[in-house]
């Protein structure tokens, strides 16, 4: 558990590097949903989902579902056309179950978030730090369903392109 608290320090190192190495988007280029569309979906989803689960579990579920829906519907307006009938299909039921299968305990999630936010506040506003850390928590938990495995990440592993991309994605 102690290593989970130290882990966000490595993320912050990558964060700093990512901020200074970001490429500006090509004019007119749009890849997937906008930041606002993603946040609107996730916040609305959390508002509904937290009635049946903890806020941390709801956040994990909603971030997961947003990714899955965006992958199938790259234009947010098309995703809005999803019906309850669509979501009851075997394909979507499987996706929903996969997203509901959060593996970290609320205690581990809270420890990660608290530590990450404390460190990140040194380089950004508290609200930006919270948003960044919630995003990174989702990505780390997705990659490492067992929180003990996440604690084994090394600086060398975090310097790989996969993690640099994760940091950049969460900074947007």
Q: Burial level of 93, CB count in 10 A (0-12/13-18/19+)?
A: exposed
What residue spans define the domains of the chain? Answer: 2-16+32-171
pTM exceeds 0.75: no
116-132 pLDDT tens trace:
999 999 889 999 999 89
Is residue 99 within 8 Å of residue 65, measured between CB atoms? yes
Asked if pLDDT for residue 11 goes beyond 70, the answer is no
Taking residue 31's Cβ as centre, other Cβ atoms within 10 Å add up to 8
């Amino acid at each position: 558990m102690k290593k989970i608290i130290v882990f966000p320090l490595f993320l912050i190192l990558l964060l700093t590097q990512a901020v200074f190495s970001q490429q500006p988007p090509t004019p007119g280029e749009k890849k997937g949903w906008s930041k606002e569309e993603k946040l609107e979906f996730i916040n609305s989803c959390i508002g509904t989902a937290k009635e049946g689960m903890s806020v941390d579990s709801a956040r994990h579920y909603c971030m997961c579902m947003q990714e899955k829906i965006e992958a199938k519907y790259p234009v947010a307006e098309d995703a809005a056309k999803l019906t309850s009938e669509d979501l009851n299909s075997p394909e979507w039921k499987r996706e929903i179950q996969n997203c509901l299968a959060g593996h970290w305990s609320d205690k581990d999630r809270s420890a990660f978030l608290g530590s990450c936010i404390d460190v990140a506040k040194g380089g950004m506003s508290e609200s930006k730090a919270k948003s960044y850390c919630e995003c990174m928590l989702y990505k780390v938990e997705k990659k490492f369903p067992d929180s003990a495995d996440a604690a084994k990440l090394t600086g060398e592993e975090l310097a790989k392109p996969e993690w640099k991309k994760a940091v950049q994605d969460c900074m947007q």
